[in-house]
Amino acid sequence: MSTSIKDVAAQAGVSVGTVSNVLNHPARVSPATVKRVQRAIGALGFVRNDAARQLRAGASRTIALIVFDAANPFFTDLARGAEDAASTEGYSVVLANTSESDERESGYLDLFEEQRVRGILISPYGDVEDRLVALKGFGIPSVLVDRVSENEKFSSVSVDDVAGGLIAVEHLLGQGRRKIGFVGGPAGIPQVRDRRHGAEKAVSQTPGAALTVFDTTATTVLEGRRIGEVIVGMAPGERPDALFAANDLVALGLLQALVVSGKLTVPDDIALVGYDDIDFATSAIVPLTSIRQPSALMGETALKLLSDEASDPQLKPQRIIFQPELVIRASA
């Protein structure tokens, strides 16, 4: 049906081996022949059949990136970093969004296993480490992103959330605030837990400082608003003079509730620090001080680790932990 390498060979008057060499190792072929073959390719509109190539060559040039929430700006930034790195290394990245479904996550793992992708970048949703071990045995390496490997079997790229919580609250303490509120939850989420631990650590190092925890059922704008209203309703003596939110969505919700009330100003009455430094943080009513994670760099790094592991499967797993960074704006 479609033109194959054989047709190209006939058209150019060379053997199929030569055409293949033009495609994959041009240096081995004389310049004149290269030109002739390329002309034939152009004339016939030949497109290499990747399935056949992969079947024979064994390895694909595709890397899969599996995330559980493609809508989260953090992941889209990370994806962009991975794509950039991939294109310089000669790989292509395809994205799979599992929409927080175990079933779909496992379905995509099946798909990519059948496709024999070169490697998998994954921010796991369900419990997939066993599955990834099997894939590794099968010759498909993985690198975890935004999550460290529990059994040390995989390389991972993540951020030190304890440090993030620490610098956020240290910043608030440094401005003389003493009654700190931590807003976030549920406590089961590793990221939330770590950020809170960092906050507790900072408070415990400063005499006279205290931390109150406001638990949320999710890290959303709505939950932030709910807590914000609670705080507005508190007696002035009880009320925190600074808030650290588990992420920027929660922080934006808090901000809205405080501003709308008309009773409290940010940062004069209450200072506020968020987490993630999403685009919206800059353009909030009061531009938000936040903790930035190097999302694109994380994607880039993860891809490089994966690429290294793909070329040398013996490589032992590396754990890379980035340090977050405080971005000071108007809210604290």
The binding site for DNA (CB under 7 A) comprises 1-2, 4-6, 13-21, 23-24, 28-30, 32-33, 46-49, 52-53, 55-57
**Residue nearer to DNA on the CB measure, 4 or 76:** 4
Q: Tell me the C-alpha distance between 120 and 142, whole Å.
A: 5
Which pair of tokens denotes residue 122?
Answer: 């994954």
**CB 310 → a copy of itself: shortest distance, Å?**
15
Is 50 a binding residue for a copy of itself by CB under 8 A? The answer is yes
Q: Pick the binder of a copy of itself from 43, 47, 210, 330 (CB under 8 A).
A: 47
Q: In 3-state terms, what secondary structure has residue 199?
A: helix
Is 70 a binding residue for a copy of itself by CB under 8 A? The answer is yes
**CB 106 → a copy of itself: shortest distance, Å?**
12
**Residue nearer to a copy of itself on the CB measure, 95 or 148:** 95
Contact 293, 140 (CB under 8 A): no
* Cα 173 to Cα 167, 208, 263, distances in angstroms: 10, 10, 23
The CB density around residue 71, as the number of other CB atoms within 10 Å, is 9
DSSP 33: H
314-317: which pairs have CB atoms within 8 A and are 24 or more residues apart?
A: 317/149, 317/152, 317/153, 317/154, 317/155, 317/156
Q: Pick the binder of a copy of itself from 4, 33, 256, 261 (CB under 8 A).
A: 256
Residues near a copy of itself (CB under 8 A):
1-2, 45, 47-55, 58, 60, 62, 64, 70-71, 73, 76-77, 79-80, 83, 87, 92, 94-97, 99, 104, 107-108, 111, 113-116, 134, 138-139, 220-222, 225, 253, 256, 259-260, 280, 282-285
